[in-house]
């Protein structure tokens, strides 16, 4: 079996032979992101990108030979590094981290699902991970605890945003928003609850309100952060890796 080809970040952007490149990876990625944001990831094909750049499709394959390469540069361009200095307040710093990640995913609806496919990640994304690790390290967490907390925040934000975006897409395609859907379901739900077989659903229905996406996100984040604080607030858990 032959050795696999080096990932794109280990390959020079300009070949030692041939003409100088007309376009940069960043330029191609920016166009691909614009298309994907507007029309979805599948629309960001080499053919469509080439058309927007007024270039030949075969020319672009010299820069990014595979779809994996294209996705790698798109992810890196979409995750431009934003600094964040640790304050020492774990809850406050995690709120900033989670909100920033959510906004990033909302700006680029294709990004969260793509990151879940174990893509080749580049320097910008890795700088962001280094920043997040440093932020939690600055709050006194050990490295293994930091990894657990970050994985939890990353996974929860990704899931919450994908649910939010799916709801938007469903409402757009069907013309039925959540409120209209609930009103349509209400007579059926009331008839079931009247049987007395669903006491907890009855309580939930009485208490439930249709929260906006921002409110849902903040409520879920508060619950998660409360659990994180409870777990790591004790002295034996709130130790930095240097103290081990």
As a whole number of angstroms, the distance between CA 11 and CA 2 comes to 18
Mean pLDDT, range 84-91, rounded to an integer: 92
Using a pLDDT cut of 90, give the percent of the chain over it: 61
Q: Where are the domains of the chain?
A: 8-78, 90-243
Across the chain, what does the average pLDDT equal?
88
The CATH number of the structural domain formed by 8-78 is 1.10.10.60
What is this structure's pTM?
0.85
Please list, in sequence order, all residues whose beta carbon lies within 8 angstroms of the beta carbon of residue 109, skipping any fewer than 6 positions away.
37, 40, 165
Question: Are the beta carbons of 139 and 89 closer than 8 angstroms?
Answer: yes
Report pLDDT for 242: 39
Reported as a single tens digit per residue, the pLDDT across 182-239 is 888 888 888 989 999 999 888 887 766 767 889 999 999 999 999 999 998 755 554 4
Nearest to 103 by CA among 72, 133, 124, 80: 80
Check pLDDT > 60 for residue 8: yes
Mean pLDDT, range 121-150, rounded to an integer: 94
Residue-wise over 79-118: b if at least 16 C-beta within 10 A, else e?
Answer: beeeebebeeebeebbeebbeebbebbeebbbbbebbeee
The CATH number of the structural domain formed by 90-243 is 1.10.357.10
């Amino acid at each position: 079996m032959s050795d696999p080809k080096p990932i794109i970040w280990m390959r020079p952007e300009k070949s030692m032979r041939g003409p100088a490149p007309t376009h940069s990876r960043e330029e191609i990625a920016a166009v691909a992101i614009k298309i994907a944001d507007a029309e979805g990831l599948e629309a960001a094909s080499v053919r469509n990108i080439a058309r927007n750049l007024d270039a030949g499709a075969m020319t672009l394959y010299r820069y990014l030979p595979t779809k994996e390469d294209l996705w790698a540069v798109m992810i890196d361009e979409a995750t431009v590094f934003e600094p964040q200095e640790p304050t020492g307040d774990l809850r406050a710093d995690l709120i900033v981290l989670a909100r920033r990640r959510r906004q990033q995913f909302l700006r680029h609806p294709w990004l969260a699902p793509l990151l879940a496919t174990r893509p080749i990640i580049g320097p910008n994304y890795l700088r962001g991970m280094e920043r997040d690790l440093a932020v939690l390290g600055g709050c006194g967490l050990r490295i293994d605890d930091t990894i657990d907390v970050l994985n939890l925040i990353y996974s929860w934000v990704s899931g919450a945003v994908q649910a939010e975006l799916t709801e938007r897409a469903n409402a757009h395609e069907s013309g039925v928003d959540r409120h209209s859907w609930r009103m349509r379901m209400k007579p059926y739900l009331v008839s079931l609850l009247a049987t007395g077989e669903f006491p907890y659903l009855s309580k939930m229905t009485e208490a439930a309100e249709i929260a906006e996406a921002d409110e849902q996100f903040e409520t879920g984040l508060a619950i998660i952060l409360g659990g994180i604080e409870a777990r790591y607030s004790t002295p034996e858990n709130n130790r930095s890796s240097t103290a081990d």
